[in-house]
Every structure is written in C-alpha cells, then in structure tokens.
Amino acid sequence: MSLRSRWRKIMNVVMLSLTGLCALFTVSVLFFILGYLAWYGGKSLNWAFFTKLPVPVGETGGGMANAIVGSGKLLLLASLVGVPFGLLGGVYLSEFGGQTFSFFVRYTTDLLNGVPSIVMGIFAYTVVVLPMKHFSTLAGGMALGVMMVPIAVRTTEESLRAVPLVLREGAFALGASKWRTVATVVMPAAMRGIVTGVMLALARVAGEAAPLLFTAFGNAFWSSGWDQPIASLPVMIYTYAISAYDDWHRQAWAAGLVLLALVLVANVGGRFIVSRGIALRRG
Amino acid sequence: MVMKTSEESRPTESAAGAATPWPADIKMRAAGLDFYYGGKQALHTIGLAVPTGRITALIGPSGCGKTTFLRILNRMYETVPHARPEGEVLLDGEDIFSLDVVNLRRRVGMVFQKPNPFPKSIFDNIAYGLRINGMASRRTLAELVEKSLRRAALWDEVKDQLHKSAYAISGGQQQRLCIARALAVEPEVLLLDEPCSALDPIATAKIEELLFNLKDLCTMLIVTHNMQQAARGADYTGFFLMGRLIEFNKTAMIFKTPARKETEDYITGRFG
C-alpha cells in the first residue's frame, strides 16, 4: 500500500470519528439536560403541584397551579397575536410580495427575530403597561406574541415556497383566483410545515421569562382578570431557583419539567392533528 | 415571416375589419405573436388558427417554443416573471389579453406535463373547479363529478375510492383525473402540454383514445414530442423550430407531403 493511500485511509477514519464524536456530544448534552430535569423534577413533582397555590416561605408543600394556568393563558394570547400575523405575513412573502418590499420585510423579520427577549419586554412595558399603569396578562401575552411573529412568518413562507408551482398552475387553469388558490390548494398542501412552524414559535416563547418580568410580572394567587398580573412557569422558575430555600429549589425543578412536558405535548399533539387530517383525506 | 400554408388560413382581418363576422370554424387565432423571456425572444411572429372542435398537435424539438406558445393561450406564462408577449391572440374574436384572466382560464383549460392532482381526495379534485366557479349545488355536485370521471374513462376504476387521496392512484390514472378535473368546468378549449410524457405506453394509449373521444366536447391543442401520437390522433399539426412556426397543415399533409425541408427532416428523424 502506498503512502498516499494509507494517508487517505487514516484521514478518512479520523474525520469520520471526529464528526461522529461531535454528533454524539450534541445528543448527549440534550439527554443530560433531559435526564437531570426528569430526575430532580420528578422527585419533587406531586399532585399538589398541579392543584395547589404557592405557599409562603417557611411552609412546605403547595404547588404552582396558578402558574400552569397562567402560562396557558399567556400562550393563548401570544398565539392570538403571533399566529394571524405570522401566517398572513408568511403568505404575503411567499405568494404576493414584490422584489424590493419582500426583501425589506424579510430582512426586518430576521432582525426582529434577533431582538433580545428582554428588549421585547421593555417594548411591551412601554406600550401596554405604562398606559394601563399596572402589570397585566395582556401585556405579557403581547410581548410573547410579538416574539412569535418572525418565526411564524419565516416558517410559513418556507413551507409555502416548497409547494410546487404546478399545483398553483393547476388551480389557476381551472379559473381560480390567486387568493383562492393560496387558500384552498397551497395552504392545505403546506399545512404540516405551517403547524410545525407555529409549534416551534410557541415552544420558543413558552420558556421565556425575561419579557414577562415587567409585563405579566407574577402573582402568588389566581389572576383576577386579563388586565391583572399573572403567574407563569418561567418566571416562577426564575424566582424559585434564585431563592435560598431548598423546598423552592425542588419546586423550580418540578416547574421546569412541567414546562418541558407542556411544550412536548403541544408539539406532538399539533403534529398528530395535522397527520390525522392528512390521513383522513387519504382515506 | 408568417407561414400560412394551411387551407384554413384566411385573409387576415385588420382592426378595421372588425365588422367581418368571426368564422365559426376557428376557435382561437394568433397573429404576429412575439414572446420574450426578459430580453430573450422565444417566439417570432407566430400566426396560427386553431380549428373549432378539432385536435391540433404542435410538434418540434425541445426548446422550439411549442410549450411557450401553448402557455400564452391561457396566459399561464404570467406565472413566470419578466415574460412578455407582443401581438394578437383572439378567442372567438375577443382579445385574450384584455379578457379577465380568471374568466379566460375557465374557458381555456389546461393539462400539464406531469400529473398535478391537488393533495385532496379524488372527489374533491374534480369538485374543486365546480365549487370555485359556483357551477354545482350541493345536490348536483356528486352527479357532475361522476359525469366528469366518466368522460375521462376513469369512473369504473375509482368509483369505490372517491374519498381516497388522489396520490393513491397510478400516474396514468392521475393524469386522467387531471383531464377529468379540467373537463368538469366545461372549457371551450383544452390545452395539453405533453400530457403523456411521464406515462408508460399503455397509459399513453388510454389517454390518446380518451382525447380522441372528447373532440366533440371541446377544441384541443396538444403539445407532443411523440410524432406517432400527432400522426395518429391530430386533425391538424403545426411544426415549430427555433421559436418559429415552420409549417401548419392537416396532419396527413404534414406527414405525407411536408412543404418545407425542415419539417421533412424532423419527421423523418434526421434531427431533433
């Protein structure tokens, strides 16, 4: 065997091992986090965590029922803002946009995606909290909603672009208008990608504490209305994790696990609904 | 340079001659038609009259402009940016460029090179055009879907799986589904862009037979690479070469006694 071919074989093995190691590292970090969370969170998780309100320092027990519901309400509000804007913005970029304006919108969207979440919080604080003169669910939902928009826009755009032109032309050839074609042929064909994108955006904002700190604030009790402060899992995790009490640390782990589970359930559920819809259409 | 070797060609009507009644035996007519993709000219002064209720085939080597020409007739070229026609195309004497495009495409249907069923059920594929054009009530919809599928000789093969996905049937069946879908909205003209190029010979034969039987329903214009297909089924044939219409005549004349040397070379297989 010549030196050259031996060198080639060695390089091949080295590079193969290197890429394999890096892949393994990525996966193991993820599983390490998941395992750690499941271990510590699982230990502290009990039925009371889902049904009881937090208790004052010193007392043991209690739960985060208000924060779980609070996160749900905040995400609902966020979707009401993020999904329509994200969806229709994505449709515009993919189907109707001209060259210059689309470039501008796409660029702005990417910038918006890069805005630190704490800045989004300040924005919502200035626009909603200051005029209302107090923290509110509304303000928190809006901050999260605005953060969803760029992700939803870009994933919707990408999914719509992946639908082949011949499908659109098929509808045009039957006398369908542009909008009709988009709504009845292109969007259904891209539904799987669109739902995945929305879920991705939702998962991204579900774990945000920073924009909620001075918008939704927090609440030790049930929130008394949409215009009142509300507890949320990420903020609870933040508050409990930096506290000095072991019991609170355990609760923070449990909250982390619940948050992760909620995102996972929403994700799998969303995909399941879409694939069932497709399966139904396939008969 | 307009070649009019056909006995179908008539003295051109000038704009002033609008009083001349539009001949019933001509469905569409292109005159002095140029076409550009950006700065590149793809068609040069095409003049061609499509006879009513006949099958007209367009043949020629790849890139000769036959598909481009076809896509002008229902303005499908508009999906391509910077594409621009110059000249005149008339449908029953009306300028297609001043017609409403949605309306034009309802009258001039199209079947594409590859089957392109919508990701919906077989039933919904056919019902699509009927629904968007408000051509069927809830009561008549199923009936009209069946009629269209029967016309496309597909009914017996799919009647038990109407609510299955259109992707569950074979390529040949999908293409007949697309023909049925186009026929459902009762177009006056049907444009077919190499409808059999992705199909095997058996599926091709089925579609050819089908098209032949549809002649009474609408005027058909078919782009094909397959010369036997043109020779077998078409009443008229046009030969395109490098963006020009070289010859247009009855199919028998084109294949037996072509007037131009280029046509003869192409159909005898000397190039292309």
Per-residue confidence of chain B (272 residues) as pLDDT tens digits? 444 444 444 444 444 444 567 787 899 999 999 999 998 999 999 999 999 999 999 999 988 999 999 999 999 999 888 999 999 999 999 999 999 999 999 999 999 999 999 999 999 999 999 999 988 888 899 999 999 999 888 999 999 999 999 999 999 999 999 999 999 999 999 999 999 888 888 888 888 888 888 888 899 999 998 888 888 889 999 999 999 999 999 999 999 888 898 898 888 887 65
pLDDT at A145: 94
User: In this complex, is the C-beta atom of B133 within 8 Å of any C-beta atom belonging to chain A?
Assistant: yes
| pLDDT at residue A280 tops 70 | no
User: In this complex, is the C-beta atom of A191 within 8 Å of any C-beta atom belonging to chain B?
Assistant: no
Closest approach of chain A CAs to the CA of B104, in angstroms? 8
Distance CA B218, CA B109 (A): 10
pLDDT at A279: 53
Q: Does residue B13 sit within a domain?
A: no
> In this predicted model, what pLDDT tens digit does every residue of A10-19 receive, in sequence order?
999 999 999 9
Which residues in chain A are closer than 8 Å to B185, comparing Cβ atoms? Answer: 174-175
Beta-carbon neighbour count of residue A40 at 10 Å? 17
Q: Would the CA dihedral through A50, A51, A56, A59 be positive or negative?
A: negative
pLDDT at B1: 42
Percent of chain A with pLDDT over 70: 97
| Three-class SS state of A260 | helix
Whole-Å CA distances, A122 to A119, A134, A137, A203, B220 = 5, 14, 15, 21, 64
What is the phi/psi pair of residue B10, to 5°? -115, 170
Q: Which of B82, B91, B102 to mutate to test the interface with A (most CBs of A within 10 A)?
A: B102
Residue B121 to residue A167, Cβ atoms within 8 A: no
Contact A71, A233 (CB under 8 A): yes
Q: Does residue B216 sit within a domain?
A: yes
DSSP for residue A52: S
Q: Which domain holds residue B29?
A: 23-118+186-267
| pLDDT at residue A164 tops 80 | yes
User: In this complex, is the C-beta atom of B80 within 8 Å of any C-beta atom belonging to chain A?
Assistant: no
Residues in A 62-91 with any Cβ partner in B closer than 8 A: none
Closest approach of chain A CAs to the CA of B120, in angstroms? 6
pLDDT at B14: 44
Which residues in chain A are closer than 8 Å to B182, comparing Cβ atoms? Answer: 173-174
Q: Look up the CATH number of the domain holding residue B226.
A: 3.40.50.300
Which residues in chain A are closer than 8 Å to B96, comparing Cβ atoms? Answer: none
Mean pLDDT for A157-185 is: 93
Q: Does residue B263 sit within a domain?
A: yes
Q: Which is higher by pLDDT, B107 or A272? A: B107
Mean pLDDT for A183-209 is: 90
Query: What is the fold, at CATH topology level, of the domain defined by A50-282?
Result: MetI-like fold (1.10.3720)
The tokens for B11 are 């003295």
| pLDDT at residue A59 tops 90 | no
Beta bridge partners of B192: B111, B222
> In this predicted model, what pLDDT tens digit does every residue of A102-118 receive, in sequence order?
899 999 999 999 999 99
The H-assigned helical ranges of chain B are 66-73, 101-107, 122-132, 141-151, 155-158, 171-184, 201-213, 227-233, 251-256, 261-267
pLDDT at B8: 43
Q: What confidence tier does A177 reach under pLDDT thresholds 50, 70, 90? A: very high
Amino acid at A53: L
Q: What confidence tier does A1 reach under pLDDT thresholds 50, 70, 90? A: low
Q: Does residue B145 sit within a domain?
A: no
* Residue A193 host element (H or E): helix A191-206
pLDDT at B40: 92
Domain boundaries, chain A: 3-44, 50-282
In this complex, how many residue pairs, one in chain A and one in chain B, have their CB atoms less than 8 Å apart? 79
Distance CA A46, CA A58 (A): 19
Distance CA B172, CA B183 (A): 17
Q: Does residue B220 sit within a domain?
A: yes
pTM of the model as a whole: 0.81
What chain B residue is nearest to A189 in terms of C-alpha separation?
B119
Closest approach of chain B CAs to the CA of A166, in angstroms? 6
What chain B residue is nearest to A282 in terms of C-alpha separation?
B165
Closest approach of chain A CAs to the CA of B103, in angstroms? 6
Residues in A 149-178 with any Cβ partner in B closer than 8 A: 164-177
Contact B212, B222 (CB under 8 A): no
Beta bridge partners of B222: B57, B192
Q: How many domains does chain B have?
A: 1
Contact A249, A240 (CB under 8 A): yes
Which residues in chain A are closer than 8 Å to B106, comparing Cβ atoms? Answer: 174-175
